[in-house]
Amino acid sequence: MLHNVNQLLLRHGTRLAAKKMMNNVIEARIIKRKYKGEGVLIPRTLMITTDLPFDFKRLQFSVRLAFAMTINKSQGQSLEVCEINLEFPCFAHGQLFDAFYQKALN
């Protein structure tokens, strides 16, 4: 989420997995935090820019695309931004080193 839609469920930084994309709404489920597994609907939001000499209006979803991959799959990848999720322990000796090493190279 790029900005708050609902103060409890859909806050800035909430991570979601999209289940269904429609013209005016995205059906998704929360994959992190307190409400993990909760289903949500994300509406398109009207954004109006007023700091220009003219009004600029657009309808957009307040989400940003992100991807996830395993530590093994990340080897050899060049990533600008990387988050390492250690909710579950690394399976093999050296996996954590590989994850940190890949980020340190960039």
Instruction: Give the percent of the chain with pLDDT over 70.
Output: 84
Task: Spell out the alpha helix ranges (H) of 39-91.
Answer: 71-74
- The answer to whether residue 55 sits within a structural domain is yes
One domain, residues 55 and 85: no
One domain, residues 56 and 80: no
State which residues form the domain around 100.
71-105
* Stated length of the chain: 106
Q: What burial letters (b/e) apply to 47-86, b meaning 16+ CB within 10 Å?
A: eeeeeeeeeeeeeebbbeeeeeeebeebeeeeeeeeeeee
The string of pLDDT tens digits covering residues 56-86 is: 888 888 887 777 777 777 777 777 777 777 7
* pTM greater than 0.75 (yes/no): no
Other C-beta atoms closer than 10 Å to the C-beta of 10 total: 22
The string of pLDDT tens digits covering residues 15-24 is: 888 899 999 8
Q: Is 34 left (phi over 0), alpha (psi -120 to 50) or beta?
A: alpha
Domain count, the chain: 2
